[in-house]
A and B are shown apart, each in its own frame.
Chain A
Amino acid sequence: MSDNSLGFTRSEYESSLAYGSGGVGDFFALMKPRVMSLVVFTALVGLVVAPGTLHPVIAIAALICIAVGAGASGALNMWYDADIDAIMQRTAARPVPRGRVSADEALTFGTVLAAGSVITMGMLVNWVSAALLALTIGFYLFIYTMWLKRRTPQNIVIGGAAGALPPIIGWAAVTGTVGLESIVLFLIIFIWTPPHFWALALYRTRDYERAGIPMLPVTAGPDTTRSHILFYSLVLAPTGLAPVFIDMGGIAYAVLATVLGVAFVALALRVYTRRKGREAEKAAKKLFSFSILYLLLLFAVLLVEHVLGGLTVTGA
């Protein structure tokens, strides 16, 4: 018997539940590579803007540990959320609900990667950054995935802290401490997270509803969500400028952060005003896509400014 939508036979699927039949690609997918790339990028920025020097080899080791730690978080999230992932259209093709990787395998894979990345970070870089990496993985799994996600519409507001920590880890890899500048980077991502995910939730509301996840559009309705998106966007725009006032961002950063901040608010306003039909969906999709670009460009210009202004990652 063949399953047309999934492309493998029923007997293959059933045996995979007991043993798992995933290839390397399936285990790679468990690590949420797209999320991982954003995590590594923001950590790299934290590492480069930090004062002091770090040997390139140790910097690379730190980034590998952060990447693997992020991958561990993804795998553990997919292990725990397999039941709701199977219901949601956006996540139904993930390796566990598809039966390519068994839940036990995902749990083992995630646990080994989490422990390995934290211990390696501690041994090769420093134990402050290792502790922060452990905190990030633990926060994402226990606080966000297991506790908040299925209980409160504030899930991604509080849970967003996990995604905002990588620049602090990067900073700590160089300095061995947590500095004000790294907290500013944390705040930018932390405030950016709610409008980013709520824009997605606006056009995926039915998905979340079916899975019983109390995302804001499900519990409070789309109009309240639009107000919240606009509020967070209005807070995000000036927060994005904060690096300028602590001498972390230069003129290029100031100009770009202003332009991008205004564009973010404009798109949030469009989401706020267009409330019906295809136009509303288009506005939410546009804000979601732009929000990724916003964060990417903001951090990219910081990176470029610091690299051009004198390499902080230098040979010992």
Chain B
Amino acid sequence: MQLSEAQKKRRRSRSIAIAWALAAMAALFFVVTMVRLGANVMNRPF
């Protein structure tokens, strides 16, 4: 199936939105982990 230029443009904008959503989710998990662990984040065996 051949996509029109407009469809290609919308697909690209959807892909960018998904990328932003995934990045935001990763950031959210990271920040909440930091909040939950607090200072203990440094307390680990090396």
Contact = CB atoms under 8 A, between A and B. Distances in A.
A104 interface: no
B10 A21 contact: yes
Interface in B1-46: 1, 3-4, 6-7, 10, 13-14, 17, 25, 28-29, 31-32, 35-36, 38
Nearest to A64: B28
Contacts, number: 44
Contacts of B4: 12, 15
A23 B35 contact: no
A124 interface: yes
A265 to B, nearest CB: 44
Given A57-B35, A316-B35, A124 B7 contact: no
B6 A124 contact: no
Contact of B10 (A22, A58, A64, A123): A22
Interface residues of A, number: 19
A61 interface: yes
Nearest to A22: B10
Contact of B1 (A15, A23, A24): A15
A24 B25 contact: no
Nearest to B35: A57
A24 B13 contact: yes
B31 A57 contact: yes
B9 to A, nearest CB: 8
A76 B17 CA distance: 20
Contact of B25 (A21, A55, A58, A120): A120
A23 B18 CA distance: 12
B32 A124 contact: yes
A124 B31 CA distance: 10
A23 B32 contact: no
A197 interface: no
Interface in A124-142: 124
B43 to A, nearest CB: 17
A55 B35 CA distance: 8
Contacts of A57: 31-32, 35
A61 B32 contact: yes
A12 B29 contact: no
B4 to A, nearest CB: 7
Contacts of B35: 55, 57-58, 316
Contacts of A64: 28
A27 interface: yes
A15 to B, nearest CB: 7
Contacts of B3: 15, 19
A259 interface: no
Interface in A9-30: 12, 15, 18-19, 21-24, 27
Given A23-B10, A116-B25, 13 more contacts: A12-B7, A15-B1, A21-B10, A22-B10, A23-B14, A24-B13, A55-B35, A61-B28, A64-B28, A120-B25, A120-B28, A123-B29, A124-B32
24 contacts: A12-B4, A12-B6, A15-B4, A15-B7, A18-B1, A19-B1, A19-B7, A21-B7, A22-B10, A22-B14, A23-B10, A23-B13, A23-B14, A24-B10, A24-B13, A27-B14, A27-B17, A58-B32, A61-B32, A116-B25, A120-B28, A124-B29, A316-B35, A316-B38
7 tightest CB-CB pairs across the interface, nearest first? A23-B10, A24-B17, A124-B32, A57-B35, A21-B7, A24-B13, A55-B35
